Amino acid sequence: MSIAYFDCFSGASGDMILGALVDAGAPLTKITRELTKLGVGDFRIERKRAKGFAGTDLRVVAIEEPDHAHYADIDAAVAASRISKGARELARDVFRRLAEAEARVHGTTIERVHFHEVGAVDSIVDIVGSAIAFEHMGFGEIHCSPLPLSSGTVRCAHGELPVPAPATLELIRGVPLEKTNVKGELVTPTGAAILTAVASHFGACPLQRIDRVGVGHGDREIKGRPNILRLMIGDGFRAVAIEADIDDMNPELFENAMGRMFAAGAVDVTLQPIQMKKNRPGVRLACIAPWDAKERVIDAVLNETTTFGVRYWPAERKMLARELGTSKIKAGRFNLKIGRDESGRIVKAMPEFEDVKRLACKAKRPVVDIYNDAMVEARKLLKAGRKTP
């Protein structure tokens, strides 16, 4: 499952997002062909030579502008188009986000929202083209860096407006931001709408290995930094560590909480006694889970315990390949847990303790004696290092 991460060092706009997707491998020919099914005016997409840094610089040239720019008209046109269902629904979601933001800014309803810059052919192509590209790429997850917060003003149909533009400000509510010294617009309403529609998380890069990089160029000069958007694609961290410190929960409830965490996908759950504020004895609930089970496990912790929050961070795991084997001692046969490294060599062999207890009970001997006998056989297997027990 590939993970995409947008590094918005210099902000984000619709053409930068589409350019980064194309640069990372989304086929421009297919995107253009699908866009002809939209019926919102005649246009062509030009791929310009990128300056400074390699990447893709796309420009949409409108040959014919549509007669309408109302949200309702654009939404109806996208809904009636013959582009694929996934791309169609994502594009509609982006336009709806924009309409809701504009409606809040102007104190009206989304049905009465009239787009200006966003209603132009180039913005429509950027949004729908990006939706087509996202569906083609088929990312398992999409993450984004905190968005850069600039200052100054931007000129638009409503005149000179402060940056971030009012619609952008509505769209990025709740999104982590990073202060910059840049004067002028870095994140456009279109860029904010696309990223908030597709990104499941804004924060640090979750990639453990990067396989591909796409670079999309913006169309304005920014003093002191390249106007580029980087898209990194690769494998994410395979595991997550989750913790919560709890000092006000009935101990009887921990068993159920642990069970729910395992059911949600956790592979290891532990309880550790700790000392908390006001000298209260508490419990540290900790677990390891696959990254794709992160939200389910966190929900289990929040729903089944008294904590109001959790800590989590990417974790790396290295595991031996496991298999079961059997061996025999005087008391009877027992199972072994066998661990192999990448080469297939046996590096660990341990007797199943439940089998040891069963044999000890049957032979009416101390468990420690049977365990020692079983370990002798396990060490023989380990020493031989053979590939099958």
**Residues 138 and 79 grouped into a single domain:** yes
CATH number at residue 281: 3.30.70.1380
Q: What is the mean pLDDT of residues 94-119?
A: 81
The pTM of the whole model exceeds 0.95: no
- Give tens-digit pLDDT for 173-202: 999 999 999 998 999 999 999 999 999 989
* Both structure tokens of 353: 């303790």
d(CA 156, CA 219): 16
| Rounded Cα gap, residues 163 and 146, in angstroms | 17
Q: First-to-last CA distance in the chain? A: 34
Percent of the chain with pLDDT over 70: 96
Quote the mean pLDDT of the chain: 90
How do residues 313-322 score in pLDDT, each as one tens digit?
888 778 888 8
Position with higher pLDDT, 293 vs 113? 293
Residue 284, pLDDT > 60, answer yes
Which whole number is the average pLDDT over 128-139?
A: 96
Q: Do the domain assignments include residue 389? A: no
Specify the number of domains making up the chain: 3
pLDDT exceeds 70 at position 168:
yes
DSSP state of 277: G
Query: Do 153 and 219 have their domain in common?
Result: yes
Q: Do both 84 and 38 map to the same domain? A: yes
The pLDDT of residue 115 is 75
Q: Find the CATH number of the domain harbouring 358.
A: 3.10.20
Question: Reduced to 3 DSSP states, what percent helix, strand and coil does the chain have, rounded to the nearest 5?
Answer: 40, 30, 30
pLDDT at 381 over 60: yes
Domain edge (last residue) among 179, 206, 236 = 236
226 lies in a domain?
Answer: yes
Candidate from 107-111, 125-129, 225-229 with smallest mean pLDDT:
107-111
Shared-domain flag, residues 253 and 225: no
Please state the rounded mean pLDDT for residues 68-85: 88
- Beta pairing, strands 3-7 & 228-236: antiparallel
User: Is the same domain home to 68 and 172?
Assistant: yes
3-state secondary structure of 374: helix
* Rg of the chain (C-alpha set): 29
Count of residues in the chain: 389
Range of the domain at 271: 239-315
pLDDT tens for 226-236 read 999 999 999 87
Q: Which percentage of the chain shows pLDDT scores above 90?
A: 64
pLDDT score recorded for residue 121: 83
Last residue of a domain, one of 218, 236, 254: 236
pLDDT at 389 over 50: no
Q: Are residues 65 and 163 in the same domain?
A: yes
Residues 261 and 200 both lie in one domain: no
Name the domain boundary from 315, 339, 366.
Answer: 315
Q: Is residue 38 part of a domain?
A: yes
